[in-house]
Amino acid sequence: MAELTPMMQQYLETKKEYQDCILFYRLGDFYEMFFDDALIASKELEITLTGKSCGQEERAPMCGVPYHAVDSYLNKLVSKGYKVAICEQVEDPKSARGIVRREVIRVATPGTNLNIQALDDSKNNYLLCVAYFPGKIGLSVADVTTGDYYLTEVEDIRKLQDEINKYAPSELICNEPFFVSGYDIEDLKTRLHVSVYSLQSHYFDEDGCKKTLMRHFKVNTPKGLGIEDFPVGMMAAGALLQYLYETQKTSLTHFTHLYPYLSSKYMLLDSSTRRNLELLETLREKQKKGSLLGVLDRTKTAMGGRLLRKYIEQPLIDREKIEKRLDAVEVMCKRSIDREEIREYLQAVYDLERLLGRVSYKTANPRDLIALKNSLAMLPSLRTVLADFETPLLVEILGNMDPLEDICKLIDDSITEEPPIAIKEGGIIREGFNESIDALKKAKTDGKKWLTELEETDRERTGIKNLRIKYNKVFGYYFEVTNSYKDQVPEDYVRKQTLANAERYTTPRLKELEDSILNAEDKLFGLEYDLFCEIREAVAGEVERIQKTARAVAKLDVITSLAFVAEQNHYVRPALNEKGVIDIMEGRHPVVEQMIQNDMFIANDTHLDEKKHCIAVITGPNMAGKSTYMRQVALIVLMSQIGSFVPAKKADIGIVDRIFTRVGASDDLASGQSTFMVEMNEVANILRNATPNSLLVLDEIGRGTSTFDGLSIAWAVIEHISNRRILGAKTLFATHYHELTELEGKMDNVNNYCIAVKEKGDDIVFLRKIVKGGADKSYGIQVAKLAGVPDMVIDRAKEIVEQLSDNDITEKVQSIEVDRSKGEKKKSVKYDEVDLEQISLLDTVKDEDVIRELTEIDISNLTPVDALNTLYRLQNRLKNRWGT
């Protein structure tokens, strides 16, 4: 068997260490991939698959991408869930003896992608680690681009699911037991597009995790970490940090703090609630516009946008903290001139957190440092405006906002105002900062002058009018002579290259100048590069100060954004109470009102409490606005608990510990669940996890099954919620089962409300107003007519509804209750039995009906087409009657 080439041996040795990765192997100006990696990459990247001689009989499959365009190819593979190991040349090929030494400098994964073009500025790119143990689950999450690093613990899989949905990580790493925990891993991969990888057990070794964390945060005892109450969470955090060390090959100096938290300290929002309330994106288009975040986000910085997203995902339940935010928003509303001045300064602030991430990774270029300097230059102005505020949160923000004048001055003194992106081609260091660099620059500048003088001298000497001295990296400096003057070239000119229409020459004098200039240039570029790296390291040494300031700037940005939105949209400050009362006067839906022109949104009142107004049963036709009204109440409560003003004339909000919603219907075909099964799963989750301090929004429970079954379930759910000994949670319950309005008199904490409509003949007008009392019908046929259902179907529906009204189940419900109150045995009703009387009512057509309709037709107003349609319909009815 033929022996592999040295280069291929080196490749295979490196590949052995990174078998789960696609290896980008640097060869000159390309990153090459071989064997299976080449087969995968050529298909995924849609690039040509070729071959390379490797010492074997068969050529090795190979493909490659140019090094200067690697980011776009890297992003494509990472976004598809692949890990990519980047293997670089780590010594100069000119000075290398034998094969050039290469090392993997970083492994790019979905959760560690650093490319700015691939990331959303307003969204964190989280890597999440799960340490699963029976009875306790540890969870840690980090964003390598910003340095965010958190840990917590949860008791069960459902709570873990809520945390995963909250963070929406792009990558999840876990221990092996998690795969047999019962969690739907495939759902994570397919629906949420999360890349899932398991780590070996040694990553989760308790002692190893402690040592890793203590070494990183430079503390001598585990207690110094401040996470002694989270033993399993600590294992998740330690495993995550070890994984980052192995893949990122850097010290991660921007990971300055590990923040433990308890999920019970925030309002609980499960995945259904986040989706149904459209907090961060719309249900259908998955767009920010049309969501609550889309309305509230008027932040000026990327950091502020990410923090506002966190506020919406984690509303507070601590009244004192909420009031603190509200105080700051209120004062910013009152002092609009100061607020707008602050927002103008914030406009010039770049993404400090991600700039700092690149500085820590040693990938920041000179322009990144200029962006950092320009951002820091805004801090003194921001501090000056903030100094006049006395509100506690704004005073705290000012205290955390370091002016960082020393860092700003260092960058300003050292880096030119418009440096190149490349860090090895000079032009970076400002004149006057370093004497050696200034001297080399002078030599380089004088060299250019020498070349100009030589060009003029030789032009006169030779008589070649268009003689030019030019330069490229391959041939250095040369004289270029066009073919028309070729005969005038002197004997001391030595030919270097022949082109189609010109010749290139050198002379001893030009060669002498070239050596002087290029040596000065090489030294200059090397010195500038070294000095730039020193400056970057100096900035990296102040990472903690800059991070603290960045967080303060982000908070200020969110507060001013909320104040701006409150003023623009005429929001009011909500009062907060802990008595369980939700009292909203003229509340509006924050998103829907933005879609309606000329302030035409109809505002509605809401009153819920823990006593006589615990459950509101809301009836009314489809499209009347029941779902909008219920969502609006939930959003107003949520907005008040993130510290935002709310769309209402007045609001007094009782703090809730969680919001649950059951809205809409959808099949989950992938997991084999029908619409009704999905609905019942959500109802079961709500009834098991809600507390008396929760807010429930339930829309049309029971509609996915037969009428009697659905009504029975809805009835039983309301009974369960209304029982204060079992639950007693504040509830908005929309339904088309008008029979449920009977509960108002039977339970002292159930109240009926309906959406007002106005009838105009066969048509209806939706008034969008919530009024006391129950609706007596659903106006389904009128809504069908509005939707454009054919008249034939509408007419037939009217006939059927009249016939069915004789069998109204409301009477049956009432009679059942009466029988029960008398103590008599309740009649057993078999709902699945066929009602022959009902069938005859639906199917039988009397001749008199046809005759009556014929006599009532206004022939003078009937078009020929309408006449044909009417005749056809009546004929079909008679055929059905006679069986012909």
DSSP string, 561-581: HHHHHHHHTT-BPPEEESSS-
Question: What's residue 229's pLDDT?
Answer: 92
pLDDT at 816 over 80: no
pLDDT at 678 over 90: no
Comparing 16-30, 643-657, 667-681, which segment has the lowest mean pLDDT? Answer: 667-681
Q: Is the CB of residue 770 less than 8 Å from the CB of residue 755? A: yes
Helices (H), 156-269: 157-167, 185-190, 206-217, 231-248
For residue 471, the SS3 value is strand
Question: What's residue 866's pLDDT?
Answer: 74
Helices (H) and strands (E) in the chain, counts: 31, 27
The percentage of residues in the chain with a pLDDT greater than 70, rounded to a whole number, is: 92
Question: What's residue 441's pLDDT?
Answer: 84
Comparing 43-57, 767-781, 870-884, which segment has the lowest mean pLDDT? Answer: 870-884
Tell me the average pLDDT across 234-239: 97
Question: What's residue 874's pLDDT?
Answer: 77
Residue 813 pLDDT level (bands cut at 50, 70, 90): low
Question: If you average pLDDT over each of 222-231, 548-557, 768-777, which comes out highest?
Answer: 548-557
Comparing 135-139, 536-540, 756-760, which segment has the lowest mean pLDDT? Answer: 756-760
Tell me the average pLDDT across 813-833: 41
More confident residue, 535 or 863: 535
Please name which of 70, 74, 62, 73 lies closest in space to residue 34, comparing C-alpha atoms.
Answer: 62
Q: Which helix (H) or strand (E) holds 851?
A: helix 847-856
More confident residue, 120 or 637: 637
Q: Which two tokens stand for residue 472?
A: 């490229």
Residue 837 pLDDT level (bands cut at 50, 70, 90): very low
Beta bridge partners of 131: 138
Residue linked to tokens 């909420």: 322
Residue 879 pLDDT level (bands cut at 50, 70, 90): low
Question: What's residue 848's pLDDT?
Answer: 67
Question: If you average pLDDT over each of 268-272, 347-351, 705-709, which comes out highest?
Answer: 347-351
pLDDT at 512 over 90: no
Residue 836 CA: distances (Å) to CA of 4, 19, 845, 846, 883: 85, 70, 15, 17, 19
Tens digits of per-residue pLDDT, 645-667?
A: 999 999 999 999 999 998 865 54
pLDDT at 474 over 80: yes
pLDDT at 535 over 90: yes
Question: What's residue 92's pLDDT?
Answer: 79
pLDDT at 668 over 80: no
Please name which of 642, 608, 656 lies closest in space to residue 323, comparing C-alpha atoms.
Answer: 642
Q: Which two tokens stand for residue 724?
A: 């204060």
Phi and psi torsions of 111, nearest 5°:
-90, 0
pLDDT at 514 over 60: yes
Comparing 229-238, 324-333, 718-727, which segment has the lowest mean pLDDT? Answer: 718-727
pLDDT at 572 over 80: yes
Q: What is the pTM of this model?
A: 0.83
d(C-alpha 639, C-alpha 645), whole Å:
7
Question: What's residue 787's pLDDT?
Answer: 81
Question: What's residue 882's pLDDT?
Answer: 54
Task: Find the length of the chain.
Answer: 884
pLDDT at 545 over 60: yes
Tens digits of per-residue pLDDT, 188-201?
A: 988 888 999 999 99
pLDDT at 219 over 60: yes
For residue 434, the SS3 value is coil
Round to the nearest angstrom and report the end-to-end CA distance of the chain: 87
More confident residue, 407 or 775: 407
- Vertex 151: Cα angle to 145 and 155 (nearest 5): 140
More confident residue, 451 or 300: 300
Residue 513 pLDDT level (bands cut at 50, 70, 90): confident
pLDDT at 693 over 90: yes
pLDDT at 443 over 80: no
Q: What is the DSSP letter of 603?
A: P
The per-residue pLDDT of the chain, averaged, comes to 88
pLDDT at 2 over 70: no
Residue 173 pLDDT level (bands cut at 50, 70, 90): very high
Residue 646: partners with Cβ closer than 8 Å, 6 or more residues away = 571, 572, 574, 584, 587, 590, 636, 639, 640, 653
Tell me the average pLDDT across 491-500: 89
d(C-alpha 493, C-alpha 505), whole Å:
6
pLDDT at 694 over 50: yes
Question: What's residue 760's pLDDT?
Answer: 74
Phi and psi torsions of 745, nearest 5°:
-80, -15
